[in-house]
Amino acid sequence: MPAPRQIRLVQTLGPHEETALAIFYDNPKLRDYWYAVASDVEVTNDVVGRRLLGEDLVLYKDASGDVVVAPDRCPHREAPLTAGEINDGVLACCYHGWAFGAEGKCVSIPSADPSFPIPKSSHLPCYRAQIRYGLVWVCLGEPTSDIPEIAEDHDKTFRRIHNPVVEWKVSATRMTDNFLDIAHFPWVHIGTFGNAQRTLVPKIDLQDLPGGYHGYEYDVIADNPPSAQMSSGETEGEVKRTMSTGFHLPFTVRSTIKREKGPAHIILLLSTPIDDVTSYFTFVVWRNDDFSVASEDTILFDRMIGAEDKVMLEKIPGVLPFEHGALANTQSDKPSTAWRLKFVEMLGG
């Protein structure tokens, strides 16, 4: 584990750099939360490398299918374990063949007499990891809370639909800010549902939402082009949606869409910091439709919306500034401002 630097919320890069970058990713408090880093299926038969909060990790599944997550560094001579090979749940290092199995235990040292006991220092110092919602979740420290609960995951009338975990060149702080924001809909989502959006955002009242989220409820008129109708379940050109959107610290956002006629549609938006300015993104969807449409088809529209956000956000460098007065806000920024305050408080700033 790298030695954490002091908590710093703002760092000015230099006299010619006008962008103040907040450094958050090495704040030790962030290690005590769960992050989605990979799809379950990616890890099923492969050794997978990921970087979380600046730390390189190796991911693999042992013979019983339990996921193992450890620093990507062999305890012997520090070769990257991601360069190794997995066979029947045992990961062999490519340098001298030391092999690791369940819970990262070293099970073989080819150069040593097998009657010789394997020293404890040969085992991998594993992190907590679990599979939930089709994703591999990792906590680098002591979890202070559980993975956000989605009650509908236990409801048989809903189905869960997965998406790949992809890398965005965007700070997780900007992603969370964006996912809580509705004022950008008519500007950024013009190619999907945003055309019918009114630019004026009604007054937002923040409240605690079910499942431990904090956010707001609102009605929107959304464009419902043919590409959206598989998802919305409605055929009119414009549809009314009742939405609720809220956050769960540090970077989870849940949006629930209820339509007058179509199915309920829950989106869990997950931003995982690789470092300050790069993140993994994935989203999971739950729907109570009649399951007659292929799962993939019901989320194509959501993927198009996500692609629009990515294009926009990758234009904005650095971290969302945290210091008071650094950003101009209007009433539609209330949810994001509430998240920023709670996030800074969480970091100890």
Task: Report the C-alpha gap between 225 and 320 in whole angstroms.
Answer: 33
Task: Report the C-alpha gap between 56 and 276 in whole angstroms.
Answer: 15
79 binding ligand FES? (CB under 6 A): yes
Residues in contact with ligand FES, counted by CB under 6 A, come to a total of: 8
Residue closer to Fe ion, measured from CB, 39 or 176: 176
From 91-99, 151-159, 213-221, 274-282, give the range in contact with ligand FES by CB under 6 A.
91-99
For Cα atoms 331, 336, 342, give the angle at the middle one, nearest 5 degrees: 120
Rounded to the nearest whole angstrom, what is the least distance from the CB of residue 52 to Fe ion in the complex? 24
Q: Which of residues 299-318 bind Fe ion (CB under 5 A)?
A: 309
Residue 128 interaction partner, one of ligand FES, Fe ion, none, beta carbon < 5-8 Å per kind = none
Is the peptide bond between 250 and the residue preceding it cis, with omega within 30 degrees of 0?
yes
From 15-23, 71-79, 165-173, 292-300, give the range in contact with ligand FES by CB under 6 A.
71-79
Residue closer to ligand FES, measured from CB, 72 or 152: 72
74 binding ligand FES? (CB under 6 A): yes
Which residue from 98, 168, 251, 322 is in contact with ligand FES, where contact means CB under 6 A?
98
Residue 261 interaction partner, one of ligand FES, Fe ion, none, beta carbon < 5-8 Å per kind = none
47 binding ligand FES? (CB under 6 A): no
177 binding Fe ion? (CB under 5 A): no
- Residues in the site for ligand FES, rule: CB under 6 A? 74, 76-77, 79, 93, 95-96, 98
